[in-house]
Amino acid sequence: MTTTTNDFRPGLEGVVAAETRLSHADGQRGELVIAGFPLEELAGRATFEEAVYLLWHDHLPTKDEVTGFAADLCALRPLPEATVHLLQEVAAKSVPPMDALLMGAATLNLDSPATAEQQALTILARLPTIVATYWRLCHGQEPIAADPELSHAANYLYMLTGETPHAAQTRALDTYLNTVIDHGLNASTFTARVIIATESDLVSAVVGALGALKGPLHGGAPGPALDMVFEIGSADRAEAYLRAKLDRGERLMGFGHRVYKVRDPRADVLSVAAEKLFQEAGDSSLYDLAKAVEQKSIDLLAVYKPGRNLQTNVEFFTALVLHGLGLDTDLFTPTFAISRAAGWIAHCFEQKATGRLIRPSSRYIGEMDREWQPVEIRD
């Protein structure tokens, strides 16, 4: 097919730049399919290990397969000394955890695993350890060694807090991790595919993807979304607060999506997970407030941005689930990354199999035929 520079689409909206069997976000129907499974079928049932195995192998694991896979991940959790030293240095400067994760992840190339599969396992196993280690160092606490008896999700909470989570907490985190594990050709996944397509390595692809994820228009929204709910404080203050924000031309974090124009199915799955988590903890007041803020936001967005159909996106309920698990807002985006890394890696394997460099075109809109002037005579 011949393309011309007249085909320019700002933001590449609607441009198909890859084929994938990993996930499909149907924006018109408000549906997300993960390797053949409707999100609602998979997210609340699978462990994160099962969901990762599904993406990496294109089938649900047998009992033996998932046991072996979990054991492989478990064995790779401890960090090399150099990574811990780097995190100690970085903690002294109190950089945001997402930046520390990015720097820590870059050290994962210190080991030279025999195969790309081993490198993939190493990255996935160690990202939670980097986040938890850094978090504790930042708060003057000793890092906690991984517990081999705990699953990926449970161990992450354990390494952060030192407390073994109860079953409802582990289930909520597994549901969250499964919900955000992959999502078509989003910005960070595209970044990972571009990097791996140059025949670079998996660590470089993941580090690049982390950089894309940290921006507020991608993975950085849940913190501000929760801050907004806290600032509103009570349902009767929501309308005035939200109107003032919209009057100032500000965006409401946690609403709107480039692909989903009807509903973001991930928001529904996480809303249910959040409701269960807060009920289990015996206090649903924050959940009730968030639902009231959500409804008022949707109503006002319809008034301020008619025809745009701006709905709740995944970040809004991400904030509630992760807050309900006791995570600080600074940990929200790194926790998103811990899951999405599995998707990035699966996309990298897919992209490598195509053997095709990603190299789009640009349309030149600059000056032509300029003439060189020596510096002495320039105005």
Please give the Cα distance from 8 to 31 (Å, whole number): 28
Q: Is 178 in the site for ligand ACO (CB under 6 A)?
A: no
Q: How far is the CB of 312 from ligand ACO (least distance, A)?
A: 9
Q: Is 315 assigned a catalytic role?
A: yes
Please give the Cα distance from 132 to 109 (Å, whole number): 20
The dihedral of CA 170, 171, 173, 174: what is its sign? Answer: positive
Q: Is 203 in the site for ligand ACO (CB under 6 A)?
A: no
Q: Is 24 in the site for ligand ACO (CB under 6 A)?
A: no
Q: Would you say 70 or 314 has its CB closer to ligand ACO?
A: 314
Please give the Cα distance from 119 to 76 (Å, whole number): 10
Residue among 24, 45, 243, 251 that touches ligand ACO (CB under 6 A)? 251
Which residue, 74, 168, 70, 71, is CA-closest to 129? 74
Per-residue burial over 304-333, b if 16 or more Cβ lie within 10 Å, else e, is beeeeebbbbbbbbbbbbbbbbebebebbb
Structure tokens at 254: 């946690």
Site for ligand ACO in 221-250 (CB under 6 A): 221
Q: Would you say 314 or 325 has its CB closer to ligand ACO?
A: 314
Cβ partners under 8 Å of residue 151, min gap 6:
47, 48, 49, 70, 170, 174
Q: Is 321 in the site for ligand ACO (CB under 6 A)?
A: no
Q: Is 61 in the site for ligand ACO (CB under 6 A)?
A: no
Please give the Cα distance from 137 to 132 (Å, whole number): 9
Please give the Cα distance from 262 to 244 (Å, whole number): 25
Q: Is 139 assigned a catalytic role?
A: no
Phi/psi for 79 (5° steps) reads: -90, 150
Q: Segment contacting ligand ACO (CB under 6 A): 17-25, 35-43, 75-83, 254-262?
A: 254-262
Q: How far is the CB of 257 from ligand ACO (least distance, A)?
A: 5
Q: Would you say 74 or 301 has its CB closer to ligand ACO?
A: 301
Q: Segment contacting ligand ACO (CB under 6 A): 41-49, 88-96, 278-286, 304-312?
A: 304-312
Q: What's the angle, vertex CA 274, arms to CA 344 and CA 261, rounded to 5?
A: 60
What is the per-residue binding string for ligand ACO in 255-274, x denoting contact by CB under 6 A? Answer: xxxx----------------
Residue among 223, 254, 265, 324 that touches ligand ACO (CB under 6 A)? 254
Residue among 24, 263, 305, 352 that touches ligand ACO (CB under 6 A)? 305
> Which listed residue (257, 275, 294, 347) is catalytic?
257
Which residue, 320, 31, 39, is CA-closest to 179? 39
Q: How far is the CB of 131 from ligand ACO (least distance, A)?
A: 18
> Which listed residue (218, 315, 323, 347) is catalytic?
315
Q: If you write DSSP's letter for every residue of 115-142 in order, what string do you get? A: SHHHHHHHHHHHHHHHHHHHHHHHTT--
Q: Would you say 221 or 289 has its CB closer to ligand ACO?
A: 221
Q: Is 315 in the site for ligand ACO (CB under 6 A)?
A: yes
Q: Segment contacting ligand ACO (CB under 6 A): 79-87, 253-261, 287-295, 327-335?
A: 253-261
Q: How far is the CB of 30 from ligand ACO (least distance, A)?
A: 14
Which residue, 294, 164, 290, is CA-closest to 233? 290
Would you tell me which residues interact with ligand ACO (CB under 6 A)? 217-219, 221, 251-258, 301, 305, 308, 310, 313-315
Q: Which residues have a catalytic role annotated?
A: 257, 315
